[in-house]
Copies of this chain bind each other. A is one copy, B any other.
Amino acid sequence: MSTRIGILGYGNLGRGVECAIKHNDDMELKAVFTRRDPKTVKVLTPGVEVANVADIEKYKDSIDVLIICGGSATDLPEMTPKYAKMFNVIDSFDTHANIPTHFAAVDAAAKEGGKIAMISLGWDPGMFSVMRLYDTAILGNGSTYTFWGKGVSQGHSDAIRRVPGVKNGKQYTIPVPEALEAVRSGSNPELTTRQKHTRECFVVLEEGADAAKVEEAIKTMPNYFADYDTTVHFISEEEFAANHSGIPHGGFVIHSGTTGWNDENKHVIEYSLKLDSNPEFTSSVLIAFARAAKRLSDEGAVGCKTIFDVAPAYLSPLSGEELRSHLL
C-alpha cells in the first residue's frame, strides 16, 4: 500500500513535495491544504483534492504523513506542534538556534497524539547535519567546516528588496575558493566570517533611484552584509528575468582530523551539494523521511525525531536484503 501524503502549504516547497511524490511509486498525494481559498490553488497532480486547512481534521484517518511546508519564522513553530497531535508530521524548520525549543514543543505534542514527528529536514539542517555527526563521531580529533553556496539566500534577497529604490534583487552566497582550499588541505585554518563567504547582489533599480546610495545601503547593512565582501551589480529587469529567476543552492561540509598514536596521519572528508533547485531538493529529502516516518509509526514509535535518530535503511524503498546486495 502506498504511503498517503498530505501537503500543508502550497508554495515552492509544497510544489516540490508534489513533484517528489511523482518520482516515488510507493507514495500517493492524498490532499493539499491551504490557508487560501482552495478554489484559487491549482495543483499539478490530476484529481488531487485541495482543501482549506480549517478542515484538515477530517483527513485524520486518510493521511499517513502530513508534510508541513511553512516558514520557520512564524508558521512552523505554531503549526508543527498543532498538527503533530493529529498526524505524523514532517517539517523543514531551519532556524538552528531555536531547534531545541521547537523540538521540545513538537515532542510533547506528538507524544500526546501518539504520533511521529520529524523536524528540521532538508539539507542544512538535514543532510549537512548528519555529515557533521558522522564526521565528528569518526574523527573526533578534528575540525568541521560548513560552507554555503554558490546559491540564492532568500533572507538576503528579501533584505535587498527592502532597500528604498530597489525594484527587485537577488543575493548569491559564494564560498571563498582560497578558504575552501585551505580547509581541504587539512591545515585546520581559523577563518573569519569575511574569509569564508562573499556576497554577490543583482539589483533592478526603481526608476530615478540613486545607484550609489542603494549600493552603500546594501553594503553597510548590519548582520546581512556589513561583515562580508559584497559586490552589487545593477541590471535590467529583462536580464534579471532571464538569468536570475532560479533558486539554485548548495554547499560543502568539510572535516579534517588526525589518527595514529601520535596523530601522524591526516584525513579529509568532504560532502558537497550542487542543486539546481533548493526547494525541490529539500522536498526530495522530506519525502524520503516521510517513508521513514510511516514505517517508524507502524512499528509503534512516537515523539519527535531528527535525522540523527533515523536508521538510514528506513529511508529507502528497498528491503534490507536488497540494500545489502546492491548498495553495501
* Chain A residues within 8 Å of B, Cβ to Cβ: 16, 18-20, 22-24, 44, 96, 99-100, 103, 120, 125, 127, 129-130, 132-134, 136-141, 184, 186, 259-261, 265-277, 280-281, 283-285, 288, 291, 306-313, 315-317, 320-321, 323-325, 327-328
Contact = CB atoms under 8 A, between A and B. Distances in A.
B309 A313 contact: yes
A315 B19 contact: no
A324 B312 contact: no
Nearest to A254: B272
Nearest to A266: B276
A318 to B, nearest CB: 8
A321 B127 contact: no
B316 A133 contact: yes
Given A269-B273, A308-B324, 14 more contacts: A16-B259, A18-B261, A23-B140, A99-B325, A127-B134, A133-B312, A134-B312, A137-B316, A259-B276, A259-B277, A268-B273, A306-B328, A308-B312, A312-B312
Contact of A328 (B22, B96, B260, B276): B96
Q: How many copies does the complex hold?
A: 2
Contacts of A285: 138
Contacts of A141: 23
B22 A261 contact: yes
A286 to B, nearest CB: 10
Contacts of A120: 328
B284 A306 contact: no
A266 B266 CA distance: 33
29 contacts: A19-B259, A19-B261, A24-B140, A44-B261, A99-B328, A103-B324, A127-B134, A129-B328, A136-B316, A137-B288, A137-B315, A138-B281, A138-B285, A138-B315, A140-B317, A265-B275, A265-B277, A267-B275, A267-B280, A267-B281, A269-B273, A270-B270, A270-B272, A270-B274, A306-B323, A306-B328, A307-B312, A308-B316, A309-B320
A269 to B, nearest CB: 6
A292 to B, nearest CB: 9
